[in-house]
Structure 1
Amino acid sequence: MLNRRHIRIKVMQTIYAYKGGEGGDFKADQTFLLRSIENMYSLYLLQLSLLVEIQKREAIYVEKTQKKHLATSEDKNPNQKFANNEVLLYLKNNTALQEAIEDYKVKNWDLDNEYVDVLFKAIKSSNLYNEYMQTRTSNFNEDKNFVIDIYKEIIAPNDKLYDYLEDQNLTWIDDLPVINTTIVKLLRKLKPNASDRHMLPELFKDIDDREFALDLFKKTILNQNELNSEIGEKTKNWEADRIANIDQVLLQMAICELKNFPSIPVKVTINEYLEIAKEYSTPKSSIFINGILDNLVKEYQEANTLNKTGRGLM
């Protein structure tokens, strides 16, 4: 679920907030980094549980309609296609998913169910819903496509939900695009005979990614003086207060990665930090960072100090 770019973003945020020096005790900050990453899974489960709660709302709505005091023949035999959507029922009846939701103590919608109501009403009033409910039966793929569409077009972009998530955990807003992409990808791959574990991906792709997060954080912090010195040599014509703090952190991390992670290609490192700068820093930051990194790489290559292993890593 977690890609390397988002790992770098998490490390960047932690280093940016770090108040100690090179020799400081950063155990608490390291714990914060891991907790921030771990909290992504809570957000993932929270978003999935929204779909479950929406299905429950529809089931309750259908039941109430059937029990109306003056129910019409249509009320007594309502279209239950939405309530019986195979994908929503798969999520609702998924034992492994429900256990994960319980383990992570994801209970937000028990208390803040008004957000479920907002999304439920938005879905019911949408063209997507009206088109889907034109018939009373459907196959698995139609049900799946409908769930994907309402997630992408109604749930994910909802402003009230966005504000709610931001209030719950500030870092979730940066995590949301990764989480939403993961959910849509897994839903697209979902098959009728899928196991309960299909919608429960590992947070890290492998142990190397977790180690990468910790190593990048520690090696950047432990070498800040040297890294700042290299940055200073390349920014002599710049006043220190003209360099955005976030740019300083991104340069520290990029140089650390160039020098201490031999298996990561130079181009990958540079491109990753340029993309992060475009999203998190000033409009001109990526140009500034690119210029410094390009000059440093040339110096490392001339001095033969750019230790990269494998073919095509330069």
Structure 2
Amino acid sequence: MLTRRHIRVKVMQSIYALSQSQSDQVDKELKFINMSIANMHDLYILTLDLFVKLSDYATNQLALSQKKYLATSEDKNPNRKFIQNAIILHLVENKELKEAVQHRKLNDWELNDEYIRVIFDEMIASDLYKKYMAETETSYDLDKAFVAKLFSEIIAPNDKLYEYFEDQKLTWLDDVPVINTLILKSIKQAKKGREKIFLSELYKDDEDKQFVKDLFRKTVLNDDMLAAEIQGKTPNWDKDRIANLDLIVLKMAICEFLKFPSIPAKVTINEYIELAKEYSTSKSSMFVNGILDKLIKEYKKENKLNKIGRGLM
């Protein structure tokens, strides 16, 4: 499920792209954001479906071993612990996941099954897999711990898989870490009979979906006003020396201060300091923090903050 920070990143990237192209096609860029988020959902579904395809491949390998002319007792009675793993089974039997794959026509692994073979071979050669398969004790928590490590240590870091995602969609380059974090968190938080590893929608609710549109449009359409709010607050910085991304981050934050009554000012400050820290220069977070701190004091003094509810200032 997308957090508000993920949404802010998508909006920030689109405003940056708009400023670089010097375009005024706001609605076109908004459509691109929505398409980018839809593609992000595809990446999420594909990554989860990879577990299903690994299980299918493992099942086929077991069937082939049983048909060997000189089959050993181990071939005839293979270890099925992996395909019977509670988390793997949950994903294999998840109707919503299966329907999402079919509905969105995400047949990547059928067309490119070499990626499944590569990951499967790496998995069975790992100490993690060998130790798990050799364990006689079984439990839901052990199954969950194995799948979490399988994902974090073998699947997510796989270079070939990363290259495939990068080649398929340009926007997936930034989405892979977000989706990997989301999936790993979902696996670790899974509870027997109440798993929420697959989410049919990436948005938490309609309010978050609307937040994408509102934050983008209000920031872009109020650009002159937001730029005016920054003027005079950067005495030690010439306008030309301020990184373009820092200006965008500041404008988005000011927009939230003035145009989003339900978002606490402290939340806005913390979110945009983190964005500056992660996506801009090494000094950006301190710069952004200083400007926003000045502005929030000024807005409070002038009673310009129109925040709804207690504790939102």
Instruction: Report if TM-score (shorter chain) is over 0.5.
Output: yes
Residues 226 and 93 of structure 1, relative CA distance in 2, 3 Å threshold = same
8 Å contact from structure 2 (residues 96, 200) kept in 1: no
Q: How far 1:281 sits from its partner (Å)?
A: 0.5
Identity %: 52
- Residue 46 of structure 1 aligns with an amino acid whose one-letter code is L
Indicate conservation of the 8 Å contact 1:265/1:308, yes or no: yes
2: distance between equivalents of 1:156 and 1:221? 35
Give 1:304 deviation, angstroms. Answer: 1.4
Deviation (angstroms), 1:198? 6.1
Aligned to 1:56: 56
Structure 2 match to 1:70: 70
Change in 2 beyond 3 A, CA 1:306/1:192:
closer
Aligned structure 1 segments of 4 or more residues deviating by more than 6 angstroms: 20-23
Moved more, 230-239 or 263-272: 230-239
What are the Cα deviations for residues 267-301 of structure 1, in whole angstroms up to 9, with x where unaligned?
11011000011110000001111111111112112
Q: Which runs of 5+ in 1 are unaligned?
A: none
1:313 maps to which residue? 312
Aligned to 2:158: 158
For 2:243, give the aligned amino acid: A
Residue correspondence of structure 1 range 1-314 to structure 2 within 5 A: 1-19=1-19, 24-135=24-135, 138-194=138-194, 199-314=198-313
CA distance in 2, matches of 1:160, 1:21: 32
Q: Which range moved further: 171-180 or 289-298?
A: 171-180
**1:137 deviation in Å?**
7.0
- Return the letter of the residue paired with 2:180: N
Distance change >3 Å, CA 71–CA 289, structure 1 → 2 = same
Q: What is the distance in 1 between the residues matched to 2:234 and 2:205?
A: 38
2-structure distance, mates of 1:306, 1:83: 56
**How has the CA–CA distance of structure 1 residues 141 and 20 changed in structure 2, closer, same or farther, with 3 Å as cutoff?**
closer
Question: 1:20 Cα shift?
Answer: 9.0
**2:80 partner SS:** coil
1:22–1:225 CA contact under 8 A, matched in 2: no
Distance 2:264 2:22 in 1: 27
Of 161-170 and 247-256, the range deviating more from structure 2: 161-170
Question: How far apart in 2 are the matches of 1:188 and 1:52?
Answer: 18
Number of residue-to-residue matches in the alignment: 313
CA distance in structure 2 between the aligned counterparts of 1:22 and 1:122, rounded to whole angstroms:
47
For residue 46 of structure 1, report the CA deviation from its aligned partner.
0.6
- Structure 1 residue 228, shift from structure 2 partner: 1.5
Aligned partners of 1:152 and 1:52: how far apart in 2?
17
Letter in 1 for 2:289: N
Let me know the Cα RMSD of the aligned residues.
2.2
The runs of 5 or more residues in structure 2 that have no matched partner are none
Aligned counterparts of 1:68 and 1:83: Cα–Cα separation in 2:
20
Letter in 2 for 1:310: G
Letter in 2 for 1:142: L
Q: How far, CA to CA, are the matches of 1:239 and 1:102 in structure 2?
A: 54
**Partners of 1:193 and 1:312 in 2: how far apart?**
38
Q: Is the 8 A contact 1:22 1:223 kept in 2?
A: no
| Structure 1 residues 156 and 224: CA distance shift in structure 2, 3 A | same
Relative to the length of structure 1, the TM-score reads 0.92
Q: 1:21 to 1:111 in 2, by over 3 A?
A: closer
